[in-house]
Amino acid sequence: MKRLLINTTILIILAGLFASCKKRIEDDYMNPELTTNGSLGKLLSGMYMNKRVRPSYWDYYTFIMSTQAPFSQTVALQPTTQMYIPSTSYTQDRWTDFYAGSWSKDDNDPNYYGPGIMSTYREMQTTFKALTPLQQQQQQVFMRCAEVLLYDQASQMIDMWGDIPFNQAGSLNTDRQATGAPFDDAATLYNAFIANLKSLNTYFDTANIITSASAELKLQDMMFKGDLLKWQRYTNSLRLRLLMRISNVSEAAARTEVTTMLSDPATYPLIADNSQNAVIKMSPTALKSDLGGVFSDFRVAPAYLLDTLMLANNDPRTPVYWDTNQSGQYVGFPYNGSSSDFETTGKYATYDSATFNYNYNIPGVLFTASEASFLQAEAYERWSVGSPQTAYETGIRQSISFYYDLNHSVVLRSLSWDTLHVPQEPAITAYLQKPAIAYSGTATQKLAKIYTQKWEHFFILQAGQAWAELRRTGYPALKFATASASGATTPPVRLLYPSAEQLYNAENYSKVSSKDTRNTRIFWDIN
């Protein structure tokens, strides 16, 4: 009997243990390193940490310098059979970084990983939806800033692929289920962005932000520190870019909207000065541009840019863009040069060591004053609403000062170089008077000069814009070597949809698959 008692007791204790484990087991379900509390401010900062928004080694190495820059000749390309066939893995990475981002459990090295744009925006929407109406009103500003960034990045996606999933993209981030999103029409999306940016301008103009939200925004908004006037300028400038991008295909609509904007700068302020630029600066301790490896492999200057455009006209930007070759000369690699010449070490000029190769402080460039000036110059020239020459020359001056500022703010990885002297006014004036630079000639020639200068300004820092505008305008009139791969003898005019989208969003992909060729032009590309 005693034994029975003991055994029963043991059994009851065990049963008790079994039950008490239940709570512990439920607590152990959630990863302690993960939070379920989304924060609009922290998610907004995440958008700046997207590795295509800020400069990352991976983006520059696998995409900018191997796809966008060579296709717009801001870097020299070694002739190979398949030089015009972009790696589909790398283009898929580019696509994925917009929608989902990338992440590693071991080491979230910003050179390789970072949040997505669409996914972050959708998570912000999900978080926003869970707030009370009062909280929503107070925190709306985070959503609005994110919206501008979203349109900027999404339009860049359209410039590369055409139709993209947009309106229904990011289903995992909203209802936690993977549902294939349709590919939305590129032109319709562009129009929607243009319309929404107009109301965003009004919002930033009139927004009244409570102190707590503005303090948080000031911290989390790495680009403008919560300065809503700067956001307004960026919003309008972006809208101007998109309008000019569609101005060849929908000229009347673009002309009306652009004219309205440019004739009322008080309502539609633009980025008018380099201090208003939409750039994400680096903070060399933790967030730095780490592109040395890029510029040691993609180093060679292209001849048209360096020899024909810069050197021949004594461009003041030459020393800030380039280092001379081993013999102390600025020589670029000709578009039709040979592979062995390309490989001859020290034969060609390379990217400037201080400004690019060894610089930890290359910013992520979203929009600069110079681009806004060139866009205005084009509008003025085509639609006679203002002085194109002033805008054009302002654009060049802003570009020169932008690049010298870059050189003056370098944080060097190692070694040291003397800081370059800012070009004196006579040198700039002389440059502006060179026949190839001066604002003269027929309307076509003038436009060509605007486009060419803008292309030079975009350079490799905005290689995506350089490639898009090259396709839209046809300038500068570049020549490309012929590759021997059959079907890919010239650069493509768009990128192919990534296989992950073809395979796993098959139903929606089938509706755009006929357009999925390297020769299908983006809707604005009617050049």
Partner 1 sequence: MQRSFFVCTVLLLLCAFGAIAQEKKAVSGTVLDEKGSPLIGVSVQEKGTTNGASTQENGKFTLKVASNATLVVSYIGYLKKEVPVSGDVLNIQLAPDTKGLNEVVVTAMGIKRETRALGYAVSTVTSKELTQTGSPNFASALYGKAAGVKVIAAPGGASSGVSVQVRGITSINNSTQPLYVVDGVPIRNFNNLTAPSFGTTNNRIDGNGAVDINPEDIESLTVLKGASATALYGSEATNGVIVITTKKGSKARGLGVDVNYIFTKENLAYSPDYQNEYGPGYDAQTNVVNGIDADGDGMVTDADGSRHPYYRSYAQFGPKFDGSDIKYWDGSTRKYVENKNNYKDFYQNGYNSTANVALSNSGDNGSYRFSYTRTDYKSILPGSKLYKNNFNFNGTLKLGSKASVDLVSSYNNNFTHNRAYTLSNVFGSFDGFFSRLDDMQTYFDRYKTTNGYKYVANDNLNYDQDQRLAYRIRAANLMDYLWNNLRNNYDERQNRFINSATLNVSILDNLRFRGRVGGDFTNWRAVDEEHNTQPVGFGYTGKYQVEQRSNNIFYGDVMLTYSPKLTADLGLTVSGGFTGRKQNYTYQTSYTDVGLASENWFSLANSAGVLKTSAQRAEQIDIAGFGILNLNYKDFLYLEGTARQERTSTLPAAVNSYFYPSVNAGFVFSDVFKLPSFVNYGKLRASYGLVGNHPSIYQANVGYYQYGLAYSGSTILYQQSQSNSFGNPNIQSEKKREFELGLETRLFDGKIGVDFSYYNNKVSRQILLASTAPSTGATSNLINAGDLANYGYEAAINATPLTLKDFRWTSRFNFAINRNKLAALPEGLSDLTWNVEGGGYLIVKSEVGDALGNIYVHPRNQDANGNYIVNGDGYYTNNLNEYKYVGNMMPKIVGGFSNTFTYKNFSLDVTLDYRWGGKLVSIPTYYQIGGGMFESTLQYRDAAHGGISYNVIDDATANYVAAANGTRHDGLILPGVTEDGRANTKVISAAGYYLNNFNWRTEGDYSAAVFNNNYIKVREIALTYNMPKSITEKLHFQGLQLALIGRNLFYLYKSLPYGLDPEVAVGSTWLNQGVDNGTVGPTRSLGASLRARF
Under rule CB under 8 A, which residues in 311-350 are in contact with partner 1?
Answer: 326, 337-341, 343, 345-346
2 binds partner 1 (CB under 8 A): no
Amino acid at 93: D
Question: Of 384, 429, 504, 511, which lies in the binding site for partner 1, with binding defined by CB under 8 A?
Answer: 504
CA atoms within 13 A on the CB side of 59: 27
> Alpha carbon of 345 to those of 296, 339, 350, 358, 482: distances in Å?
12, 12, 11, 19, 24
Spatial CA neighbour of 495 closest among 462, 520, 524: 520
User: What angle is formed at CA 86 by the lines to CA 82 and CA 89, rounded to 5 degrees?
Assistant: 125
Check: CB of residue 262 under 8 Å from CB of residue 385: yes
Name residues contacting partner 1, limited to 14-33 (CB under 8 A).
14-15, 17-18, 21-22, 24-33
Shortest reach from residue 173's CB to partner 1, in Å: 4
Spatial CA neighbour of 238 closest among 265, 189, 198: 198
Name the E strands within 88-156: 101-102, 114-115
Name residues contacting partner 1, limited to 467-496 (CB under 8 A).
482-488
Shortest reach from residue 163's CB to partner 1, in Å: 12
46 binds partner 1 (CB under 8 A): yes
Site size toward partner 1 (CB under 8 A) is: 111
Question: Of 96, 138, 191, 250, which lies in the binding site for partner 1, with binding defined by CB under 8 A?
Answer: 96
95 binds partner 1 (CB under 8 A): yes
Q: Which is nearer to partner 1, 484 or 527 (CB)?
A: 484
Residue 308 DSSP symbol: I
Shortest reach from residue 79's CB to partner 1, in Å: 4
The Cα–Cα gap between 98 and 497 comes to 13
Question: Of 69, 118, 261, 447, which lies in the binding site for partner 1, with binding defined by CB under 8 A?
Answer: 118
Question: Of 55, 70, 114, 363, which lies in the binding site for partner 1, with binding defined by CB under 8 A?
Answer: 114
The Cα–Cα gap between 415 and 28 comes to 51
Question: Of 53, 55, 64, 101, which lies in the binding site for partner 1, with binding defined by CB under 8 A?
Answer: 101
The Cα–Cα gap between 345 and 333 comes to 12
155 binds partner 1 (CB under 8 A): no
Q: Which is nearer to partner 1, 175 or 264 (CB)?
A: 175
Question: Of 51, 61, 63, 115, which lies in the binding site for partner 1, with binding defined by CB under 8 A?
Answer: 115
> Which residues have CB under 8 Å from 313's CB, separation 6+?
431, 434, 436, 437
Q: Which is nearer to partner 1, 26 or 425 (CB)?
A: 26
131 binds partner 1 (CB under 8 A): no
Question: Of 255, 274, 292, 385, which lies in the binding site for partner 1, with binding defined by CB under 8 A?
Answer: 292
Name residues contacting partner 1, limited to 384-423 (CB under 8 A).
413-415
- Bridge partners for 365 per DSSP: 279
